[in-house]
Structure 1
Amino acid sequence: MMSSESSSLQTASGDAAASKGKVSFFQANKSLIQISVLSGCGVACTLAFEKARVFDPSVIQDQMDFSRFVMLKMFLTAVTTGLVSMSALSIIPATKQKFMIARDAFVGPLKCKGILSSAIGGALLGMGMTISGTCPGMVFVQIGGGVSNAVYTLAGGFAGVLVYGLVEPFIRSAIRPAQPAKHHWMDHYLGMNFASVALPLAVVIGSVVAAVEYYVPWSTEVVTSNTGNFLTVPSWSPIVSGMMIGLAQVPLVLTVDDTLGSTTAYRTILAQLIPNSLSKKLLSYFHGIQNNMDSWWQVIYLGSIMITAYVSASLSHNYNSVQGVSIPSSLIGGFLLLFGSRLASGCTSGHGLSGLALLKVLSFVNVPAIFAGAMGLQFIRNLL
């Protein structure tokens, strides 16, 4: 007959083995889970972009001289929803650590950046938006949706990242802050907890969206239809689309420990095309890019965006129906988009949607610079 001590040891051993089995199962399926979540977020965000009509270059350009407000409503709603979502993650005990890890991941590439690089990079990105009528992540929506000349914007973007990689060592030494930032986060700067800053800010931004929508209803700015289901109608409210994008931050934080962004994907793809010997000597910016989920998750996310854009545009009979900008504008705009984004280490998704939602101090410099560059150039274009 087995002693009670022996029985207890076997029970404990069995529990440990079971526990180990659970961990091994999770680790074995971690990549599959991440890919599934990334694809799902890509689907949700693409539907939001395509149905809000912000993949149309004219909608983005019209925002810059306030002819239309669709982009502003979607963007600010996404930021508002992101602030609320991040507040929830920062408060709930089970997700608080994930929130902190995602914050650390966000600030990593920005440690060598300062106000100057954020402002100049943002202004260049904004000018690229006005010229090309898109932003780094939206390019993939445009390609999937059949927007003419979008592939040239993508080519210009890759050229921008490549040139930035060539000059990055010189830029880094020229504009690197003399001292590291004392406070990376707005809540730390104010000496308050995250939710105490994020939630009042969400109320203010949400009120701005409500006021703009009241005076300029979205249905007066884009083509709408009362027939068809939610997938086949030509457009949705930008407020609904913005909420979808803001909520997409949550599964990303919980599975890949990161937030929405797109420009790192350009660097990752180029790194695979540059011989290791060349990148080590001349293009150190692309050297040592790891072939793991930390480097590739944005590529998977953007790939799902392109596929979903094609399906969504086809279902609503919008595929290949949107006129893009000229080839020279696509190339020049794409170049500025990605050169500026890499200089600032973030784009309209990275700094705009994620950085503001995380209360990153430099994002509050970068985003106004983006719109200042975009609106300033559009004002000049309208005068010519």
Structure 2
Amino acid sequence: MTTTLLSGIAFGAALTASGVHQPSVILGQLKLADWDMMETFLTATASSTLLILAFHTANIVKLAPRCYSPLGLFAHYDGNLIGGALLGVGMALARSCPGTVLAQVGAGLPSGFPALVGALLGGLGFTSLVRPWLRANAACKPPKSEITENEREPSRTVHESLGINRYVVAGTFEAVLVAIVAGLTLFSSASRGGFAATRPIAGGLLIGLAQLVSLLLRRSAVGVSTAFEEAGDFVWWPFYSPGESESQRPKGMSVVFAGGIVGGAWLVSQAMPITPLFQPSESESAIPIIVAAVPLWQSVLGGFVMVMGARIAGGCTSGHGITGMSLLSVSSFLTIGSALGAGVLTAKMFL
């Protein structure tokens, strides 16, 4: 439990110090008006990819790629696309994601608390309504021996799908990420010079460092949205039948990790009460963004939708984004691509 809590504290501190927990930064990215969040996210993914590959090669920690989330509607990855889209819509509405909402609460941001309420309701709704439906749907599937070749699950990773060596694909992915980050840095340096232009990179490296802490301490990678599903399990567990109660008792480790994120964000906010270390001020920003307070109903609804979507997709911007993409999981690329597309459309059209 201690290692899980410390890992959460490291991740929460990194999210807060990087500034990506700020609602204005999240909405600015989804409106395509400011690219600091993308630069930070890609830097974190690049560093995480190197770490996970190194740990795998050294046989220290070997993580399985992220699974597909089939809903049984049109493809093995339909849950990733639909859940990812809901995640993106919720992010735009709440100006947060399942990880940053916890950092917002820890940092005392006003929109964080109602978004957290919505997120907890989303976890409760998933465990009570959606998950039983998904399990019932899975129970109706034919035995493996009767599944045709077209019905079998596709390869889970990009390198397996392409039939290319893992290290070649990882190296190519790393080169693409570095090129994009370098391009974004050069673009921002036109209006911001010196350290200000590289602040998002520093923030991304901090998040990568938090990934390292998690790998070392608990032999697992970062991921947040499971905590909200687990919180829903804690609510419903006393009402399970005696036979189910013991077998489905929540483990609680994801909730502990989430609590660590809140604590880490609080610690950083106390050390830097005015401006996050790696967030540019308006005077340094290429395009100043002024965002009004998030309406209460929007925060609650957004929190609900983003967690519901994350659990349908089997992960969020940390589990599928930073970790899943680092594992070269096809489901993660589909989920994050769908989330980004839906988030941008929602922000551009309605916010």
TM-score by length of 1: 0.75
Paired residue for 2:111, among 136, 144, 149?
149
Q: Which has the higher helix share?
A: 1
- Compute the displacement of 1:354 (Å): 0.7
Q: Report the secondary structure of 1:182's partner residue.
A: coil
Matched, 1:339 2:308: yes
Deviations 1:323-372 (A, max 9, x none): 75121011100011111011101000111111100011111111100001
CA contact (8 A) 1:70 1:218 kept: no
Deviations 1:20-47 (A, max 9, x none): xxxxxxxxxxx5xxx23x3443333223
**What's 1:198 paired with?**
170
CA contact (8 A) 2:20 2:26 kept: yes
Task: Label 1:180 to 1:217 Cα distance change in 2 as closer, same or farther (>3 A).
Answer: farther
Letter in 2 for 1:84: L
**What's 1:117 paired with?**
79
CA contact (8 A) 1:352 1:363 kept: yes
CA contact (8 A) 2:69 2:80 kept: no
Letter in 1 for 2:227: A
Matched, 1:302 2:258: yes
Letter in 1 for 2:233: A
Alignment of 1:181-260 (within 5 A): 181-217=153-189, 220=192, 237-260=199-222
Matched, 1:44 2:10: yes
Distance across 2 between alignment mates of 1:163 and 1:218: 47
Q: Report the secondary structure of 1:261's partner residue.
A: coil
Alignment of 1:1-384 (within 5 A): 35-36=2-3, 38-92=4-58, 94-95=59-60, 98-99=61-62, 102-103=63-64, 106-107=66-67, 110=69, 114-165=76-127, 166-171=129-134, 179-217=151-189, 220=192, 237-278=199-240, 288-291=247-250, 295-318=251-274, 324-381=293-350
154-163 or 171-180, which deviates more: 171-180
Task: Label 1:279 to 1:49 Cα distance change in 2 as closer, same or farther (>3 A).
Answer: farther
Distance across 2 between alignment mates of 1:182 and 1:275: 34
Distance across 2 between alignment mates of 1:209 and 1:239: 8
- Compute the displacement of 1:79 (Å): 0.8
Question: Which fold has the larger relative contact order, with Cα–Cα distance below 8 Å and residues 6 or more apart in sequence?
Answer: 2
Q: Report the secondary structure of 2:20's partner residue.
A: coil
117-126 or 149-158, which deviates more: 149-158
**What's 1:231 paired with?**
none
- Compute the displacement of 1:255 (Å): 4.3
CA contact (8 A) 2:21 2:103 kept: yes
Task: Label 1:111 to 1:249 Cα distance change in 2 as closer, same or farther (>3 A).
Answer: farther
- Compute the displacement of 1:214 (Å): 0.8
- Compute the displacement of 1:185 (Å): 1.4
Distance across 1 between alignment mates of 2:340 and 2:104: 21
- Compute the displacement of 1:305 (Å): 1.6
Task: Label 1:302 to 1:168 Cα distance change in 2 as closer, same or farther (>3 A).
Answer: closer
Deviations 1:253-295 (A, max 9, x none): 34434211011111222222224344789xx8x984445xxx4
Letter in 2 for 1:342: R
Distance across 1 between alignment mates of 2:203 and 2:52: 18
Letter in 1 for 2:162: L
CA contact (8 A) 2:70 2:80 kept: no
Letter in 2 for 1:87: L
Letter in 2 for 1:300: V
TM-score by length of 2: 0.82
Task: Label 1:89 to 1:150 Cα distance change in 2 as closer, same or farther (>3 A).
Answer: same
Task: Label 1:122 to 1:271 Cα distance change in 2 as closer, same or farther (>3 A).
Answer: same
Q: Report the secondary structure of 2:325's partner residue.
A: helix
Residue identity over aligned pairs, in percent, reads 27
Aligned length: 323
CA contact (8 A) 1:268 1:289 kept: no
Unmatched 5+ stretches in structure 1: 1-30, 225-234
Letter in 1 for 2:184: V
**Which protein shows a greater Rg?**
1
Unmatched 5+ stretches in structure 2: 142-146, 276-290
CA contact (8 A) 2:123 2:230 kept: no
**What's 1:25 paired with?**
none
Letter in 1 for 2:204: G
CA contact (8 A) 2:9 2:262 kept: no
